[in-house]
């Protein structure tokens, strides 16, 4: 026989219809009347029928892809009939079934697995793919991203054109050992700050320039910022602070997904902070650049002392230190290197340009307003 009165849901509306269910060898046949009271028949293939096993008193089965059609069968003999009609066939999704009824061991296992996957992502996959992707991003994109961040920043900043020219002339006298085009913009601001953008732009605030006392300090600062450029630190720091948005792209190592998010957030490039590890790398670059140019590495030590000595006096001083955290380790590292340095020479050209930068700075501060 294998015929049952059932409630049928078509998956489109929530209303049920009374229907007849017939169990055939390869499928179930459902016969019901539609809105126009015409008889309809639908066919469910056996391999796509699943039993809901949520402990409901009613036996509910659904069919195919979402939105599911489903039937409710109240007939108490139905489950036994199924076993007879289709021996060896299990309508319940076995894995699903085990999780729901397998008790605490299965649940504990799942929780442990989830924690393991998160740890794997947070400590292994994300950092590695971030570094990998930062390396894969093409130079042309890097320049565009940096340019974008620069344009956004400059809409609210005022350039000190004279000192920009002089600082660029200063930088041209140095060999930074890079093929990134290094371009420096000095902006008028009391903030003691400087930052590097992807692609080679560096923004130097007059507040920091005014506090520096020598050509060597400026050379040290430029070496440090160029270090951030060379190692693509701003892209890495940007990726780190956007990691929630980049989750899927990082997981898939999807460069295009990552670059789209970075470009959308280019305005944050002027306000990134670096990890201690990246700061240490930039310091190493600065020391190497100073050495290559026969400039005293004590310039970097003096720069740190300037920042450290002034820190706390005015809130503006915290800006550079919060984006480039200065630790005792960094100071000690630079001191040790400077103490061992050989071959430094006084560079008269740099000194002359530095004096002009200082003179311009004094003129600026004498201007009214």
C-alpha 188/C-alpha 23 separation (Å) is 84
Least gap, CB of 193 to Zn ion (angstroms): 11
Handedness of CA 306, 308, 314, 318 (dihedral sign): positive
Least gap, CB of 148 to Zn ion (angstroms): 21
Residue 163 or 324 with smaller CB distance to Zn ion: 324
Q: DSSP secondary-structure letter at 357?
A: H
Least gap, CB of 267 to Zn ion (angstroms): 20
CA triplet 263, 152, 142: central angle to 5 degrees? Answer: 40
C-alpha 257/C-alpha 32 separation (Å) is 49
Least gap, CB of 225 to Zn ion (angstroms): 7
CB-based closest residue to Zn ion: 324
C-alpha 49/C-alpha 43 separation (Å) is 11
3-state SS of 49-61 is: EEECCCCCCCEEE
Residue 23 or 222 with smaller CB distance to Zn ion: 222
Instruction: Let me know if 31 is exposed, middle or buried by CB neighbors in 10 A (0-12, 13-18, 19+).
Output: middle
Residue 62 or 230 with smaller CB distance to Zn ion: 230
Token pair, residue 42, equals 């639908």
Residue 130 or 282 with smaller CB distance to Zn ion: 282
Helix (H) or strand (E) holding 13: none
Least gap, CB of 273 to Zn ion (angstroms): 9
Helix (H) or strand (E) holding 247: helix 243-251
Q: Which residues bind Zn ion (CB under 5 A)?
A: 279, 282, 324
Phi, psi of 34 (to 5 degrees): -85, -170
Least gap, CB of 173 to Zn ion (angstroms): 22
Residue 160 or 279 with smaller CB distance to Zn ion: 279
Residue 277 or 313 with smaller CB distance to Zn ion: 277
Phi, psi of 63 (to 5 degrees): -135, 135
User: What is the rounded radius of gyration, in angstroms, for the C-alpha atoms of the chain?
Assistant: 35
C-alpha 299/C-alpha 297 separation (Å) is 5
- How many angstroms separate the first and last alpha carbons of the chain? 100
Token pair, residue 98, equals 């085990």
Least gap, CB of 233 to Zn ion (angstroms): 8
Residue 7 or 233 with smaller CB distance to Zn ion: 233
Residue 82 or 235 with smaller CB distance to Zn ion: 235
Least gap, CB of 230 to Zn ion (angstroms): 12
């Amino acid at each position: 026989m294998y015929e049952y009165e059932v409630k049928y849901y078509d998956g489109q509306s929530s209303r049920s219809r009374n229907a007849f269910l017939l169990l055939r060898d390869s499928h179930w046949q459902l016969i019901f009347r539609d809105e126009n009271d015409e008889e309809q028949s639908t066919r469910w293939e056996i391999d796509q029928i699943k039993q809901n096993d949520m402990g409901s008193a009613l036996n509910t089965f659904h069919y195919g892809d979402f939105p599911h059609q489903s039937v409710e069968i109240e007939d108490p003999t139905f489950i036994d009939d199924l076993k007879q009609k289709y021996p060896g066939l299990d309508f319940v999704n076995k894995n699903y079934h085990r999780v729901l009824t397998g008790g605490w061991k299965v649940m504990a296992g799942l929780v442990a697995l989830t924690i393991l996957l998160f740890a794997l992502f947070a400590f292994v996959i994300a950092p590695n793919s971030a570094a990998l992707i930062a390396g894969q991003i093409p130079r042309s994109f890097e320049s565009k991203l940096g340019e974008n961040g620069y344009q956004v920043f400059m809409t609210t900043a005022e350039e000190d054109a004279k000192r920009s020219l002089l600082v660029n002339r200063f930088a041209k006298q140095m060999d930074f050992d890079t093929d990134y085009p290094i371009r420096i913009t000095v902006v008028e601001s009391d903030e003691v700050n400087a930052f590097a953008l992807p692609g080679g732009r560096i923004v130097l605030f007059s507040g920091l320039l005014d506090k520096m006392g020598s050509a060597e300090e400026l050379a040290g600062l430029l070496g440090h910022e160029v270090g951030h450029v060379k190692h693509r630190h701003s892209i890495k720091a940007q990726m780190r602070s956007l990691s929630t948005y980049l989750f899927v792209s990082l997981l898939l190592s999807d460069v295009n997904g990552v670059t789209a998010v970075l470009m959308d957030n280019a305005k944050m490039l002027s306000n990134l902070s670096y990890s201690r590890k990246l700061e240490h790398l930039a310091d190493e670059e600065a020391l190497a650049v100073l050495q290559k140019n026969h400039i005293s590495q004590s310039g970097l030590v003096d720069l740190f002392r300037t920042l450290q000595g002034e820190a706390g006096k005015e809130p503006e001083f915290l800006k550079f230190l919060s984006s480039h955290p200065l630790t005792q380790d960094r100071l000690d590292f630079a001191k040790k290197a400077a103490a061992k340095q050989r071959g430094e020479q006084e560079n008269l050209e740099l000194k002359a340009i530095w004096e002009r930068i200082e003179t311009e700075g004094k003129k600026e501060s004498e201007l009214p307003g």
